Every structure is written in structure tokens, then in C-alpha cells.
């Protein structure tokens, strides 16, 4: 499938997920479960002190695999950008954390998700929020304009992760933080099995191995790279989905168990390019 076609499939899947919420339901996408209340990837990511102050439709649209705003140490006055903001849950939480002197941008390519996020912004009554239409491979913001980039289970969906990371680096201010949640693979997993588990995790996915994530961040110019597991998945959690896909789960279990995780991926943009390549040679 070409990159353009794959992006269309992703748009369609998340467009449908947004429609489920508009119809009064809960967004679903992966094969984990029918409702995000029981899905091992999306369930219990936020505590009630966070969800109780949000519109219920923003919570119902949550399709992330982590809680980046809880881990990103956002400060009043900062500008935050959420890559693939979906129904807006992390944008609304960021807006509260950065306060009226700060700003939270959400970027998404799916019209239905953007419409839902804008409705959720109105319901929440927050003004320091702006939702932008576009792709994370081509961020519609100027360079050096953002303090913190967050994202929740989106970068694994991109066909061009190098470009996403280069774009993130470009729009961050020197010293800016990249602080995202994503699905990461630890160790080698045969390609066909990997594909099935990725479909279980997130519709259409291409999770990076831990070392690839580090390499790509480093090549994009980032420093202080850290990948911290927040949830490690057990084969039994994907058993029903994999069996339905015709996979002999007991046979493949050793290749899967504990190898797929949700992780908090952190890095910073150096204050100067020099700090990436090491100390200068001037006497």
C-alpha cells in the first residue's frame, strides 16, 4: 500500500472512531475490546482528577496509550503542541496546565476528529487552545515556536517517522522538550506476528523498536533521549484478537510476550547544534 493510501486508511478509521463518539458511544479502533473501558491499551490512563474536569465526549474519544501531560512537567506560560490530537483530551489538559498565559495547539489530519475536538473545546470553555488541520509529517507552524511537543499513540501510525521527528525538532524552541507516549517494540519479533499485534494495538501501525526510536531521535538532532516503559503487554491481553485472526497464540507467545509496550519517550532540542556534535575544538 502506498503512503498516501495508508494515510487514507488511518483517516477513515479515526473518522469512524470520532463518529462513534458523536453518536453517544466510546471511540474504538484497535482490536483490544469493544469499549475503551476494557481495552488494556486505552483503559485507566487518566485519573479522575483529570477526567472529571473534562467534557465526557473528550474522555470518550481518548484513543491514546499513555498520559503525556502527566509526565511532561508543563509550566504556566508554555506553548504546547499535540501531534495527532484526536478528540482533544491531551490538548485540553495541557491548556489547563499552561494557563491563560500559555497556549495548547492540537494538530490532526482527520476532519471528524477536528470537528469533535473543536466541540470539546467549546464544552470545556477554554480559550488558550487552537486546533490545526494538517499532518505531523508537515507541521503547519514556524520553526522555534513551541516549548513542548506531546503526542499520544500517533507517531507509530506514520509512514515517515524520520520526517515527523525532523519536523518536531524544527518547530521546537532551543531547549524545547519532546515528551510523547507511543507504542514501542523491545527486541526482534517476526514480521507477520508483529503486524498482527500492531493491528491489535492501534488499527494500522508501525511501531519502532526501542533502538530505532533512539537512533531516529538522535539523527534528527535531539539529545537527552530516554524511553521509559509505562505498560508492558502480555500475550493473553491480545489472545482473542489474535485467535480471531487465525494465529496459533500459544505457538507465537514466546515471540510476543512482554515485547510490546507503551512508553514515555523523552528528548530535548539542544540550545545549540554544537552540543549535539560534542565540545568545540576552539582553544
Ligand X SMILES: C[S@@+](CC[C@H](N)C(=O)[O-])C[C@H]1O[C@@H](n2cnc3c(N)ncnc32)[C@H](O)[C@@H]1O
Q: Applying CB under 6 A, which residues contact ligand X?
A: 10, 14, 62-64, 84-87, 89-90, 108-110, 113, 135-137, 152-154, 157-158, 202
- In the three-class reduction of DSSP (H, G, I as helix; E, B as strand; rest coil), residue 266 is classed as strand
DSSP single-letter state for residue 155:
G
The residue at minimum Cβ distance from ligand X is 86
Question: The cell 522538550 sits on which residue?
Answer: 177
Q: Is 131 helix (H, G, I), strand (E, B) or coil?
A: strand
Nearer to ligand X, 136 or 242 (CB): 136
Residue 131 bridge partners (DSSP) = 106
Grid cell 477554554 in the structure block, residue? 126
**Which residue number, 136 or 179, has a Cβ lying nearer to ligand X?**
136
What's the min distance (Å) between Cβ of 9 and ligand X?
10
What's the min distance (Å) between Cβ of 82 and ligand X? 7
Q: Least distance (Å) from ligand X to the CB of residue 3? A: 10
Nearer to ligand X, 68 or 102 (CB): 68
Q: Which residues contact 187 (CB under 8 A, 6 or more apart)?
A: 209, 259
> Distance between CA atoms of 144 and 204, rounded to whole angstroms?
31
Q: How many Å separate Cα 276 from the centre of its chain?
A: 25
Q: What is the dihedral of CA 116, 119, 124, 129, to 10 degrees?
A: 80
Smaller CB separation from ligand X, 17 or 252: 17
Question: Helix (H, G, I), strand (E, B), or coil: what is residue 205?
Answer: coil
Q: How far is the CB of 223 from ligand X (least distance, A)?
A: 25
| Min CB(253)–ligand X separation in Å | 26
CB of 164 to ligand X, least distance (A): 7
Closer by beta carbon to ligand X, 54 or else 235 = 54
Going by C-beta distance under 8 Å and a sequence separation of 6 or more, which residues neighbour residue 212? none
In the complex with ligand X, the residue whose CB is nearer, 158 or 220, is 158
Which residues have CB under 8 Å from 134's CB, separation 6+? 107, 109, 140
Nearer to ligand X, 74 or 252 (CB): 74
Nearest Cα neighbor of 217 from 260, 164, 151, 171 is 164
Q: Least separation, in Å, of the C-beta of 94 and ligand X?
A: 11
Amino acid at each position: 500500500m502506498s503512503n498516501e493510501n495508508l494515510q487514507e486508511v488511518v483517516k477513515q478509521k479515526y473518522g469512524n472512531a470520532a463518529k462513534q463518539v458523536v453518536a453517544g458511544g466510546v471511540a474504538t479502533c484497535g482490536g483490544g475490546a469493544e469499549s475503551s473501558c476494557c481495552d488494556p491499551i486505552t483503559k485507566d490512563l487518566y485519573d479522575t482528577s483529570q477526567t472529571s474536569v473534562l467534557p465526557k465526549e473528550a474522555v470518550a474519544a481518548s484513543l491514546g496509550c499513555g498520559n503525556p501531560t502527566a509526565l511532561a512537567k508543563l509550566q504556566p506560560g508554555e506553548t504546547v503542541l499535540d501531534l495527532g490530537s484526536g478528540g482533544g483530551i491531551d490538548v485540553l489538559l495541557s491548556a489547563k496546565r499552561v494557563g491563560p498565559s500559555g497556549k495548547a495547539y492540537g494538530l490532526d489530519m482527520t476532519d471528524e476528529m477536528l470537528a469533535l475536538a473543536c466541540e470539546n473545546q467549546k464544552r470545556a470553555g477554554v480559550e488558550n487552545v487552537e486546533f490545526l488541520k494538517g499532518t505531523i509529517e508537515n507541521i503547519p507552524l514556524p520553526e522555534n515556536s513551541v516549548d513542548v511537543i506531546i503526542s499520544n499513540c500517533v507517531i507509530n501510525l506514520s509512514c515517515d517517522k524520520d520526517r515527523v521527528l525532523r519536523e518536531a525538532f524544527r518547530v521546537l524552541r532551543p531547549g524545547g522538550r519532546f515528551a510523547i507516549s507511543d507504542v514501542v517494540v523491545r527486541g526482534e519479533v517476526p514480521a507477520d506476528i508483529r503486524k498482527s499485534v500492531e493491528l491489535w494495538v492501534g488499527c494500522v501501525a508501525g511501531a519502532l523498536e526501542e533502538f530505532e526510536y533512539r537512533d531516529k531521535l538522535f539523527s534528527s538532532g535531539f539529545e537527552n533521549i530516554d524511553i521509559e516503559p509505562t505498560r508492558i503487554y502480555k500475550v493473553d491481553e491480545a489472545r482473542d484478537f489474535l485467535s480471531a485472526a487465525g494465529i496459533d497464540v500459544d505457538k507465537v507467545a514466546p515471540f510476543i510476550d512482554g515485547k510490546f509496550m507503551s512508553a514515555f519517550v523523552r528528548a530535548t532540542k539542544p540550545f545549540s547544534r554544537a552540543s549535539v556534535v560534542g565540545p568545540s575544538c576552539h582553544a
